[in-house]
Amino acid sequence: MTQKRSAGLLLFRQTGDGNASADGIEVLLGHMGGPFWERRDAGAWGIPKGEYGLDETPRDAARREFTEEIGLPPPDGPYLPLGEVRLVGGKLVTIWAVRADLDPALMVPGTFTMEWPQGSGRVEEFPELDRVAWFPPPVARTKLVTSQIPFLERLLGLLEG
User: CA 146 to CA 47: how far, in whole Å?
Assistant: 11
Residue 15: what pLDDT? 82
Q: What is the pTM for the complete model shown?
A: 0.90
Mean pLDDT in the chain? 91
Residue 22: what pLDDT? 59
pLDDT in tens, 11-23: 999 886 555 555 7
User: CA 29 to CA 144: how far, in whole Å?
Assistant: 8
User: CA 33 to CA 40: how far, in whole Å?
Assistant: 10
pLDDT in tens, 61-75: 999 999 999 999 999
108 pLDDT above the threshold of 80: yes
Overall average pLDDT of the 92-103 stretch? 96
User: CA 10 to CA 139: how far, in whole Å?
Assistant: 15
User: CA 5 to CA 14: how far, in whole Å?
Assistant: 30
Do residues 10 and 95 touch, judged by C-beta distance below 8 A? yes
> What percent helix, strand, coil does the chain show, rounded to 5?
25, 35, 40
